[in-house]
Amino acid sequence: MHVWNPGAVVAEVGPSGPHKRRDGNALPGACRTDSRRLARQDSGSSATIGEVVLPALLAALTLSGSPFAMTSPAFAPGAPIPKKYTCDGGLQPVSPPLHWAAAPTGTRAFAIRVDDTDAHFLHWLGWGIPGGARGLKAGQHPPHEESNDLLQTRYDGPCPQDHRVHHYRFRVYALSASVPPPFKGHVLATANLVGTYKH
Mean pLDDT score, 164-175: 98
Mean pLDDT score, 154-161: 96
CA atoms within 13 A on the CB side of 151: 7
pLDDT higher for 21 or 147? 147
Burial 101-110 (b: 16+ CB within 10 A, else e): bbbeeebbbb
pLDDT higher for 171 or 54? 171
**pLDDT, position 90:** 86
CA angle 63, 72, 171 (to 5 degrees): 85
**pLDDT at 64 > cutoff 50:** no
Mean pLDDT score, 63-81: 89
**pLDDT at 168 > cutoff 80:** yes
**pLDDT, position 65:** 62
Mean pLDDT score, 37-64: 46
**pLDDT at 169 > cutoff 60:** yes
Mean pLDDT score, 77-94: 94
Counting residues of the chain whose pLDDT is more than 90, the rounded percentage is 64
Give the mean pLDDT of the chain: 80
pTM of the model: 0.70
**SS3 for 53?**
helix
**pLDDT, position 10:** 35
**pLDDT, position 37:** 37
CA dist 173 → 113, 137, 153, 177, 182 (Å): 8, 17, 18, 11, 11
CATH architecture of the domain formed by 49-197: Alpha-Beta Complex (3.90)
**pLDDT, position 33:** 37
Question: Using only C-alpha atoms, what is the Rg of the chain?
Answer: 16
**pLDDT, position 199:** 86
